[in-house]
Chain A
Amino acid sequence: MTREEKVDYLKLKAKEVRKTILTMIHAAQSGHPGGSLSAADIVTALYFDEMNVFPDDPRNPDRDRFILSKGHACPVQYAALALRGFFPYETIMTLRKEGSILQGHPDMKRCPGIDISTGSLGQGLSCGVGMAIAGKRDGKNYRVFVVVGDGESDEGQIWEAVETASKYKLDNLVIILDRNRLQNDNTCEVIMPNLDLVKKFEAFGCNTQHIDGHDMGQIVDAFGNIRKSDFQGPFAIVAETVKGKGVSFMENVVKWHGVAPDDEEYERAMKEVEGM
């Protein structure tokens, strides 16, 4: 596959991921569409191209690990897992329902393909650091990919984890910051300005790239740059994104952090995504 073919393929997959996100949140009438849609292109590129995962053997010790540290956006990961065949596609209709493997926030004990349970913000990256250290010390080739939110980066633990990743020269760790600029109550700028995240990751010792997180070509190239790099430390990608990306009435609207679309909104949203 040429780069162009790959990008086109991933764009189509991202569309399926977005539709799956909307369908499961609509069915549940509960969940977090905004931050799921902002991370959709990144997560699609990871699950359909970059990561080495085994849908039929989800606990394979050599798999790449994926951690959604901003766990409330789990519909995006559930969508990717469903489309990759980690569980039957129709399972998405059970999101947030009693007895479902698709808990409101990811649960590694219930859902195949979840490498660590998240949901309490600020914690997933530390777990990724532990996995990356284990991988290096065991001489394994797997890599660890962690998607972190910008609102989530208010938590000091994120920066404790980045320091640790630098100290232990974790060149098998990739941090992707979903820079959608909105958090629960308002914009990041109003609630807690993140300042210059690119400079922050650089100051904390990461090889850092700054991309458009909805430009599939830039996403693919950023992962390609990491593969080629001989940098002896953690990698960071600050991905500029739009919360609610793909659905006009959700884009950049704080309210769509954690509410589900009604029937009419769902129909409109699905049409808009189809036309993306």
Chain B
Amino acid sequence: MTVFEKGKATREAYGKAILELGLENKSIYVVDCDIGKSCKTLEFAAQCPDQHINVGIAEQNAAGVAAGLASCGKIPFVTTYAVFGSMRMLEQIRQEVCYTHLNVKVACSHGGFTPANDGASHQGIEDVGIYRTIPGMTIITPSDYESAYNLVKKAAAMDGAVYLRFTRDAVPCIYPEGTDFEIGKSMMLKDGKDVTIISSGDVLSFAYNAAEVLEEKGISARLIDMHTIKPLDKEAVLKAAAETKGIVTVEDHNIINGLGSAVCEVIAEKGGCRVKRLGIQDRFGESAPYKNLLKKNGVSVEDIVSAAENLIGG
């Protein structure tokens, strides 16, 4: 089983990417809500002061200001935590960004259980599900530093609303430097013929290790990184359903309306295989170590392995 290095927080990748973007393109703006320090935009603010706005602790206003900027040709990244970016400013993003088709990005750190010690108030576990229901929103949940870095650049190059979710804490580095991603096109990290594991975001390393354990047990597991949850790479899901005997989905998000739900919607209409969803069991977190929080919700390497074995055995 691969022992990943300690890794890096994907919010650090956002900080690096947004600074490079800002220096290259004067239309790139950051709209901060007084948590630039945590969201890694301080360097952007220092080096691109004319492209930086800090509205203070006023997220709803931040969304509207970003929409106004975008209507004048700017490409603003509203930067905050996942809980605020998906809930406090939700209706503003719906009304002034998605409905208007304006080119605003919502860039959020502290996704899922990654702000583990902060407790439930700061753990954004509903964000993906909420934004899945808003027409016109693209949702990207990068799994590691390199994918986050690359996908921020891709989001900036895309015309339209994008929600990006980053991790507060360090997560293992999975992809080599320079890996290129395409929004809406999943990555197959490992091919397999018995079972498929589809994961997204910070728990991808668990899925990776689980696939290795399964291999040792003689079960060939396909591993897919569904970094873009909307639009979903349906083709990859249908291919997995056709070519393997079952799909396990793994996410650091409420079990309702996240990655697992999105995969099930595809399978339910086309058929092909059973799906087992692993994720947060519709309950709030608490201040605790990240892995413990996930384990309590049945998300761990062992849980993924047994879910896969059950699917195959059944």
How many interface residues does chain A have, given as a range?
A: 20 to 34
Known: A109-B101, A126-B63. A135 touches B95 (CB 8 A): no
In the bound complex, residues from chain B placing their C-beta under 8 Å from that of A107 are 99
Q: Identify the stretch in B70-78, B199-207, B256-264 within 8 Å (CB) of chain A at 4 or more residues.
A: B70-78
Among B64, B91, B101, point to the contact of A130 (Cβ < 8 A). Answer: B64
Kindly provide the distance from the CB of A63 to the nearest chain B CB, expressed in whole angstroms. Answer: 11
Interface residues of A in 98-131 (CB under 8 A from B): 107-109, 115-120, 122-131
Report if A126-B69 is in contact (Cβ < 8 Å); known contacts: A108-B100, A160-B58.
no
Segment from B49-57, B143-151, B168-176, B208-216 that makes contact with A: B49-57
Q: Answer yes or no: B68 CB below 8 A from chain A CBs.
A: yes
Q: How many angstroms from the CA of A6 to the CA of B114 in the assembled complex?
A: 63
Residues of A within 8 A of B63 (CB): 126
Residues in A with CB closer than 8 Å to B71 are 108, 115-116, 127, 130-131
Given A108-B100, A164-B61, A130:B69 Cβ within 8 A:
yes
Contacting pair A138 B72 (CB below 8 A):
yes
Say whether, besides A116-B100, A117-B96, A137-B50, A126 and B60 are in contact (CB < 8 Å). Answer: yes
- How many chain B residues sit at the interface, stated as a range, is 20 to 34
Are the C-beta atoms of A131 and B72 separated by less than 8 Å? yes
Q: How far is the CB of B98 from chain A (nearest CB, A)?
A: 10
Kindly list chain A residues whose C-beta atoms are within 8 Å of the C-beta of B281: none
What does the 1/0 interface line of A82-100 toward B look like (CB < 8 Å)?
0000000000000000000
Q: Is the CB of A109 within 8 A of B100?
A: yes
Q: Does B61 lie within 8 Å of A116, measured CB to CB?
A: no
Q: Are A163 and B96 in contact (CB under 8 A)?
A: no
Q: Bound state CA distance, A130 and B95, in angstroms? A: 15
Which residues of B are found within 8 Å of A138, using beta-carbon distances?
Answer: 72
Please measure, in the bound complex, the distance between the C-alpha atom of A139 and the C-alpha atom of B66, giving whole angstroms. 18
Whether A157 is near chain B, meaning CB under 8 Å from some CB there, is yes
Find chain B residues with CB under 8 A from A45 CB: none
Give Cα distance in the complex from A132 to B76, angstroms.
Answer: 14
- The answer to whether A133 touches B68 (Cβ under 8 A) is yes
Of residues 158 through 193 on chain A, the ones whose CB sits less than 8 Å from some CB of chain B are 160-161, 163-164, 168
Bound-complex Cα distance A126 to B96 (A) = 10
Q: Is the CB of A127 within 8 A of B96?
A: yes
Instruction: Please judge, given known A-B contacts A116-B68, A125-B64, whether A133 and B96 are in contact too, CB under 8 Å.
Output: no
Q: Which of B53, B66, B73, B96 gathers the greatest number of chain A CB atoms within 10 Å?
A: B96
B117 interfacial by beta-carbon distance below 8 Å: no
Interface string of A221-234 (1 = CB under 8 A from B): 00000000000000
Residue A134 at the B interface, CB < 8 A? yes
CB under 8 Å from chain A, chain B span 14-62: 50-51, 53, 55-56, 58, 60-62
The CA-CA distance from A125 to B92 in the complex, in Å, is 12
Nearest A residue to B68 via CB reads: A130
Chain A residues 221-259 with CB under 8 Å of chain B are none
Is B95 touching A120 in the complex (CB atoms < 8 A)?
yes
Contact A127 B99 (CB under 8 A): no
| In the complex, B195 has a CB within 8 A of chain A | no
B312 contacts chain A at the CB level, 8 A cutoff: no
Residues on B facing A (Cβ under 8 Å):
50-51, 53, 55-56, 58, 60-74, 76, 91-92, 95-96, 99-101
Given contacts A127-B64, A130-B65, 13 further A-B contacts (CB under 8 A): A61-B73, A116-B96, A117-B95, A123-B95, A126-B65, A127-B71, A129-B64, A131-B68, A131-B72, A132-B68, A133-B65, A160-B55, A160-B61
The 5 closest A-B pairs by CB, nearest first: A130-B68, A126-B64, A134-B72, A160-B61, A127-B68
